[in-house]
Amino acid sequence: MAESAPTGRSTLLWTLAGTALGLALLYAATRKLDAVALATTLRSVDWPWLGVVLAAASAFCAIKAWRWGLLLAFARRPPFRELHSAVYTGLAVNFLVAHAGEFLRAATIARKQRTTTSAVLASIVVERLLDFLALLVLLALIAVVLPDRPAMVATAAVISALVVAGMLAFLVALLHPPAWSERLAFRLRQLLPVQLQQWLNQQLDRFRTGLASLRNPGPLFWAVVASVLQWVFVIAAIWSSGRAVGLPATLAAVTVTLVVIVIGLALPNSPLQIGTTQLAFVVGLGTDGTGETPAIAASLVYTSFVILPIMLTGGIALLGGPDRWRR
């Protein structure tokens, strides 16, 4: 019980920081907003496109769950239903407290599979590596297809490449530590109490176990393919959100929107990612010359038919689902 208070305070501070940042970004995105024009645009939404947005969001979650099963190579693969539910739960919590959902879904699967949370967390770290690798692949393809692409696409590709290189070097060093790093780690451990040394060694061994997917080329290849498909469906959701409010956004503009959303995910976020999403749409679709008001309208469609449904579904899964209610 004594350890829960610092965790609660940290969560509260992180949430407050995210909310403050989200409000600041929302203000930056809506300074020139025409409220009357926004209301008119939303009243004339093309309803069939909303179904496409919702379908793209559902496909994203399903592929994310399938990919996660491929990365859990160190244990018996959990049923897809369990993975799917945990993915929704994790995303729902992330939309409230940034990054907290990753720990929750790892702990959920670890408990159900009777394995260690550290090992499952390692598979989520591999997920992040593949996310940036897939983003890099998409950005490279867009750079080839669109010679007049915005400069931000090239910048994002360079950043993604650096992140992939850094994460890959870190994971390889964990699996095959060089002699100098082992000597340094040994000296640092001597400064700690024996009990803490044993705990750290145990957690490190479990984490390395969770990286087993990096040694399996077949499943790893399909996990990369799934990662690319994930981003394709997010791009489809962004594009369809624009179409729903009458914006024929270009592939370059939609990709820039995705890049800004991904960058925003690394920051503290407000609930429902309010502010971050709006600024991403204004900046991204703005590369097409889209005005602030229609871009905000598209962002509200994205929030309402991607983020909100995932959050509600994750909340149901977190509470145990309809089966539990009936019991």
Could you tell me which residues come within 8 angstroms of residue 57 by beta carbon, excluding any fewer than 6 positions away?
233, 237, 305, 306, 309, 310
What span, in angstroms and rounded, lies between the C-alpha atoms of 50 and 300?
11
If you write DSSP's letter for every residue of 30-88 in order, what string do you get?
STT--HHHHHHHHHT--HHHHHHHHHHHHHHHHHHHHHHHHH-TTSPPPPHHHHHHHHH
Nearest one of 270, 272, 274, 290 to 282, comparing CA atoms: 290
The counts of H helices and E strands in the chain are 15, 0
Kindly report the backbone phi and psi dihedral angles of residue 114, in degrees, each rounded to the nearest multiple of 5, phi listed first: 55, 45
- Give the DSSP letter of residue 233: H
Q: Residues 44-75: pLDDT tens digits? A: 999 999 999 999 999 999 999 999 999 997 77
Reported confidence tier of residue 154, pLDDT bands at 50, 70, 90: confident
The pLDDT value recorded for residue 112 is 86
The pLDDT value recorded for residue 287 is 87
CB of 118 closer than 8 Å to CB of 207: yes
The pLDDT value recorded for residue 8 is 62
Interhelix angle 151-175/251-265, rounded to 10 degrees, is 40
pLDDT averaged over every residue in the chain: 86
Domain locations in the chain as residue ranges: 41-317
Q: Residues 259-305: pLDDT tens digits? A: 888 887 777 777 888 999 999 999 999 988 899 999 999 999 999 99
Residue type, 94: N
The pLDDT value recorded for residue 7 is 57
The pLDDT value recorded for residue 262 is 87
The pLDDT value recorded for residue 293 is 94
